[in-house]
Amino acid sequence: MERRGPQVNHLSFADDIILFTSGRQKTLQLVMQTLNAYEETSGQLVNKEKSHFLIHSSTFTSTRDRIKRVTGFKHKEGVTTYLGCPLFAGRPRIIYFSDLINKVLHRITGWQVKILSYRGKAVLIKHVLQSLPIHLLSAVTPLVTVLKQIQGIIADFFWGWRNEKKKYHWSSWKNLSFPVEEGGIGVRNLTDVCRAFQYKQWWVFRSKQSLWGDFLKAKYCQRSNPISKKWDTGESLTWKHLMHNKQKVEENIQWKINNGSCSFWWDNWLGVGPLARLSGHSNRLNNKKVADFWLDGQWNYRMLIQQAPSCQLANILAMEIHIQQDRPD
């Protein structure tokens, strides 16, 4: 974790909790003392049969044995699931999403014995099958192969089977995914749904204050603005998707000036995109705010002449300032 960012030592939801800690004996003993104090106070017991610990694959055997001895928990290898989403490091694999695929297959298996019309199948697909992966897609981006596999299973269900053989598919799933008025049946393409959630992640990252956003900003954007950043090898997959989609989303974001807290160079507050793109200088590490170019409630003309792009100087000076100190941009 980045030391200058939020120090996340646990995640909790209802009766599920994840603790982040080192493998040192003193630290482990403090964790167990806290859990024991909780048991004595609440009367509830931690189920050690359902509890486990995860460590890096290159961790020393002595460290693994120490954790097992002090905590009494089992060592779990591979991926773990938290709130229905697989947690993993590195590249995603198809096996990580096998539970989701099996869930779709299980629903379809119960419907196969029933006689359903195409209209009835379309209703089940739109309101049941396509709702199953929504929670997961909002947090994790599966492999394209996984999405195609799920859509293939749904397409086979829609067209049906005869004598244990698939019926002929009279139209591709891409065509069926169009709205009814455009010749489709109104089902959603999971690739589009996945991309929409990726766009929403960037919107939340840019517009809202959250622990997730603060963590990413501290890790990747300490000195420079997120707009100027590029993904580099070794950085997280979530950050990679954010960097890939930011340009498309930023084209549809414009900032309204209140107290001048948005970035002068990188936020689209003038309606022409980031001013840094129009400048001949590198402003990657320039974090000046719009308010820095104000003087006594008016534009600082001399400062704008020296630094702002000359092609947009007239537009900036023509923009009226209505300062609202109690409201951020």
Examine the domain organization and report whether 66 and 104 are in the same domain: no
Residue 39 is part of which domain span?
Answer: 10-77
Question: What pLDDT was estimated at residue 112?
Answer: 78
Question: What pLDDT was estimated at residue 290?
Answer: 93
Question: What pLDDT was estimated at residue 297?
Answer: 87
Examine the domain organization and report whether 180 and 204 are in the same domain: no
Residues of the chain predicted below pLDDT 50 = none
**The last residue of a domain, from among 188, 208, 236:** 188
- Domain-embedded: residue 86: no
Question: What pLDDT was estimated at residue 232?
Answer: 87
Examine the domain organization and report whether 245 and 273 are in the same domain: no
Examine the domain organization and report whether 15 and 51 are in the same domain: yes
Question: What pLDDT was estimated at residue 284?
Answer: 67
Provide the domain count of the chain: 4
Question: What pLDDT was estimated at residue 12?
Answer: 86
Q: Tokens at residue 2, please?
A: 């980045």
- Domain-embedded: residue 235: yes
- Domain-embedded: residue 312: yes
Tell me which amino acid residue 188 is. Answer: R
